[in-house]
Structure 1
């Protein structure tokens, strides 16, 4: 194992101290953060600032170099897809850049719970990558919002967009699983040109999905773990070659991001009846459905919110708010509780505190362990929350339907 391989393996295995929040689900892309002095109670007494965000967007905010970036879709009177940067200390807008203006026909119809800006941006080396699914992808300067390139190759979408991009070895990779075909695409980050495209070739009725890839180490090399309808595959970043795959029937409309722990990938299978799979990656080549799936759980599995893993425990909530703790090694359910609210935002774990945000606008914070759950705080944002929070420097950043909030101790 090379030092670089060892570092990435450790990075994915353990909680990461949050100094930046560069992509969907944070520094390790898995929603688990080591942080101190982070507030559980979020109210007027510890509100640092609140900023209204124009338009509609369920994308999660990202942060680097003291700037928070969000994407949104603004009616003006047509649709403008925008990226907005705010100063993390003051909440003031630093820049606001229009990126695309899709026609109504190109944007298409979206699901009632979706928006035209649901894919979260990504920040790397001073560049913001703003992704809007079938409506386009753009690279901008983090400092001033200057556009470096735009990529646009539309495809027939279903219910809108949702999956977020990843960056590895100089390529930006994202799902393009539309109504008629399931694809994985990679763009050269320096030019924005298409570098490769992988056809999933699934034999399923509904080919559309909204998966966000995850980069892992397997067999001494980086692998892009990417889900589509009916299957998940491990792809080579350089050329999109399919290394291994697991099939799971007719599962479609994938949203939750996979999670990696100790040589295993854990993922859900989408509609109609979601399952949670534990897949061993050691020696994975070709189809490994019958050889590497170690267990399957079928009770209270999400179709929208991503889950978290801490040690040997998996904390997972389904879309109706039924929260479970599963054994990571066996899939056995250790306990079950309920938020009694609909949950679409992905779970975030800070030390042993689990943060969850509801479609009705509540922000739940609980102490969790394999023994059970203890309520710490229930916060009220008075409007829906679909985005996942940023945790940094003793603060919590929350994006609700119309506002961005910073709370701190």
Structure 2
């Protein structure tokens, strides 16, 4: 794998993205847990999440930029979603550790009834409630920097998916041929295209992301395990199983479903989602890559780590014209932090790839963790800066 280009090069390559957000009032009803809330629409909706409840300060909003401030008061890592009809993800914030607070700005351009969900443990349908949006339809700015940004990032997403499909097909061919060594070699290289744009995959309904990338530790009772990590365990631990070929074929079908989704004429990306995705990719590193939980059987975590970093950097670069116009100092701080993390990651290069993550000591992991935390602190501000004014 080649070293990812600098932030400056990415900024020259990309432009900026469409923007967005949302607002609200009142309490969310849920299918489990407790709920409560106010009747007046605040400037920001607070979400008090625990292991058994999801308490919103409001459940009504208007079309436009709404902000949700999510605090995890529970003992489990949680996430917060806003869905439209058909389970389409309009906005999400993942990997909120106990005691932490995260902000989500969501673009809801159409009036109607949406669904909010807190997901303690980041599994299942979550603790759900309705969120009602009123007002006139909001047109996303399709001119200037925002159009250029949206177009540029969409091209990037399509380029990654176009590379993902043949890479997965080659990986699956090795699996089905029983060529274990070739399959092991292609496992991390085929994943990088997916890991760079995973937040986009998560926006599609029908559990597309879990089908492709669910870890064994996150399986629910009775849930079928498919995707990369199931094949990872077959290759490194269990050996090829009677259903391995079927699982491999399903992975190809699932990435082709993703390809069809991002190629559809109605597929759109707004800047707040992409800025949120940039943050989400860093959270993935902090939550599962640093600990070694992601690729627990193969120890190829650093490949994913690097791909998440690249995807986050590209997403931020896509909105840099807007960011530099509104807060150039933040853009410079983000650049510096990306460079620091990249320099640390280079220490673990081995040929075209990376050393096995089980060779990275705990002090070295903590050093990486601190660098990611410093980067995340800066990137977390981008979504608010580029939101509509």
Q: Normalising by the residue count of structure 2, what TM-score does the alignment of the two structures yield?
A: 0.26
Judging by fraction of residues, say which structure has more strand. Answer: 1
Q: Normalising by the residue count of structure 1, what TM-score does the alignment of the two structures yield?
A: 0.25
